[in-house]
Amino acid sequence: MPEEQAEYSTWLCAVAGFFSNFSPSLAVRLHIHPGSADQKNVKFLTGASKVHRYSIQSAVALGLSLHLSLGLAAAPVLGIAVSRGGFAVDRAAVEGNATLFEGNRVETGASSSELRLNNGVRMRLASDSSGIVYRDRLVLERGGGEVSRALDAAPGPYRVEAGTLRIQPAAAAAAGARVAVRGERVQVAALGAPVTVTNAQGLLLARLAAGRAAEFTPEGGSGPSTLTGCVSSHDDKYWLSDEASSVAFEVIGGGVAQQVGSRVEITGSVSAGTNETNVVTVTSLKQLSKSCPANLAAAGAAGAGAAGAGAAGTGAAVGAAAAGTAAAGGAAIGASTAVIAGVVVAGAGAATAIAVVAKDDNKATISPSTR
């Protein structure tokens, strides 16, 4: 084959690649049409052996047009990104604003950026932050971000993913969450309504009441879990409401029946339960005190009631869970730490959460008060 004709064959193979990706049922074969070198014709043979002839220029243009059309169809418009300074979308520099598509990576520089999605979700990326935007989640890669919902937001959950963590604000107009990635540590604050934090497998790691915050540090591996709290009984089961995470655990084994009303530290293996509770199978149990402070006892009882209320319906379960979280939020648990499924959970009271928010606002303009 002459050298010029071989060069055209290379281009034609590229065009064939486009068409073979568009429709598997279309078997496209390319041949150089016999004739003079300046004719540059292409013969396309389909399964029906119908022959069409195009010039190379037309074939390439058609292939690129179809490729672009399919690409746009596969990436619907999600909303817009707005900033007072420069930022980047998929590593392309942008000034002022840009349209967001499914899977766009947004990277901020010296200024924060606000992401306004068509479904009513609002996000603010702090300065020097990076996140990938999807219709149902923000994957926060570094820095800080805040997620909230407009009053007219479409129904449906919207979460933040940070490493192996899944942060889910309540599906309410007032709900929001602030998340910061600091190396291996992830800090989460609940704004306006409760927030739940799970791992990638869906195991509940923490339930934060509005105004509370916690810090999560993955340890790696699947070592034993360590929990602290007061033991209570409900519906012939034994429960512990962990002080750091505000999560209710059904306790199995370890002579827990003799510890009802006591404050204990439990080590064991954890698995997911029902109605936003977990199950811990005890390998060791240490009594910390024979009685519980009133606020911790109330938190444990309310947390146990959240699980038992599941039989009465979702509304009752949610109400009891909220009561358990509120009681725990009033407890003096700022120094308490839990290890749940390989993640260290450091709890913080309401006052600490406000201080964290204020500190973050000084470092990066992501305060909800500026919206």
Torsional sign, CA 357, 193, 310, 167: negative
Determine how β-strand 165-169 pairs with β-strand 130-133.
Answer: unpaired
Same domain? For 69 and 138 the reply is no
Contact call for residues 37 and 1 (beta carbons, < 8 A): no
Same domain? For 14 and 111 the reply is no
Any bridge partners for residue 183, and if so which? none
Residue 364 inside a domain? The answer is no
Same domain? For 130 and 118 the reply is yes
Same domain? For 132 and 204 the reply is yes
- Cα–Cα distances in Å, from 321 out to 30, 105, 158, 305? 66, 36, 21, 7
Same domain? For 243 and 308 the reply is yes
Contact call for residues 72 and 96 (beta carbons, < 8 A): no
| DSSP 8-state secondary structure symbol assigned to residue 314 | H
In the sheet with 51-55, reading across from the earlier edge strand, the strands are 29-32, 41-45, 51-55
Same domain? For 245 and 335 the reply is yes
Same domain? For 45 and 81 the reply is no
Contact call for residues 286 and 256 (beta carbons, < 8 A): no
Element housing 143 (H / E): strand 137-149
Q: In the prediction, which pLDDT does 170 show?
A: 84
Residue 28 inside a domain? The answer is yes
Contact call for residues 356 and 189 (beta carbons, < 8 A): yes
Any bridge partners for residue 176, and if so which? 148, 191
Where residue 246 falls (left for φ over 0; alpha for ψ -120 to 50; beta otherwise) is left
Determine how β-strand 185-191 pairs with β-strand 195-199.
Answer: unpaired
Residue 215 inside a domain? The answer is no
The whole-angstrom separation of Cα 360 and Cα 371 is: 16
Number of structural domains in the chain: 3
Range of the domain at 237: 225-340
Same domain? For 102 and 199 the reply is yes
Residue 352 inside a domain? The answer is no
pLDDT by residue, tens only, the chain of 371 residues: 455 554 544 444 444 444 444 443 333 333 334 444 444 444 433 444 444 444 555 555 555 555 555 554 556 899 999 999 999 999 999 999 999 999 999 999 999 999 999 989 999 999 999 999 999 999 999 999 999 987 777 777 889 999 999 999 987 667 789 999 999 999 999 998 899 999 999 999 999 999 999 999 998 777 899 999 999 998 899 999 999 999 999 999 999 999 999 999 999 999 999 888 999 999 999 999 998 876 665 555 555 555 555 433 333 343 344 344 444 444 444 337 999 999 999 986 544 444 444 444 444 333 333 33
Residue 97: how many other CB atoms lie within 10 Å = 14
Q: Virtual CA dihedral for 129, 132, 137, 138, nearest 10 degrees?
A: 0
Q: What is the CATH number of the domain that holds 249?
A: 2.40.50
Same domain? For 140 and 173 the reply is yes
Residue 346 inside a domain? The answer is no
The whole-angstrom separation of Cα 356 and Cα 176 is: 15
Q: What is the CATH number of the domain that holds 110?
A: 2.60.120
Residue 79 φ then ψ, to 5°:
160, -150
Half-sphere exposure of 364 (CA within 13 A, CB side): 24
The whole-angstrom separation of Cα 313 and Cα 320 is: 11
Q: In the prediction, which pLDDT does 22 show?
A: 42
The whole-angstrom separation of Cα 82 and Cα 294 is: 49
Residue 220 inside a domain? The answer is no
Same domain? For 325 and 286 the reply is yes
Residue 356 inside a domain? The answer is no
Q: In the prediction, which pLDDT does 156 show?
A: 75
Same domain? For 13 and 131 the reply is no
Same domain? For 137 and 196 the reply is yes
Counting beta carbons within 10 angstroms of the beta carbon of residue 246, is it exposed (0 to 12), middle (13 to 18) or buried (19 or more)? Answer: buried
Residue 217 inside a domain? The answer is no
Residue 204 φ then ψ, to 5°:
-70, 125
Nearest one of 152, 173, 320, 313 to 234, comparing CA atoms: 320
**Which of 74, 96, 114 is the endpoint of a domain?**
74
Tokens of 306: 């959240």
Q: In the prediction, which pLDDT does 323 show?
A: 40
**Which of 36, 56, 74 is the endpoint of a domain?**
74
Q: In the prediction, which pLDDT does 12 show?
A: 47
Question: What residues have CB less than 8 Å from 165, skipping those under 6 apart?
Answer: 186, 188, 197, 198, 199, 200, 205, 216, 343
**Which of 18, 43, 74 is the endpoint of a domain?**
74
Nearest one of 222, 180, 213 to 340, comparing CA atoms: 222
Half-sphere exposure of 138 (CA within 13 A, CB side): 34
The whole-angstrom separation of Cα 147 and Cα 139 is: 12
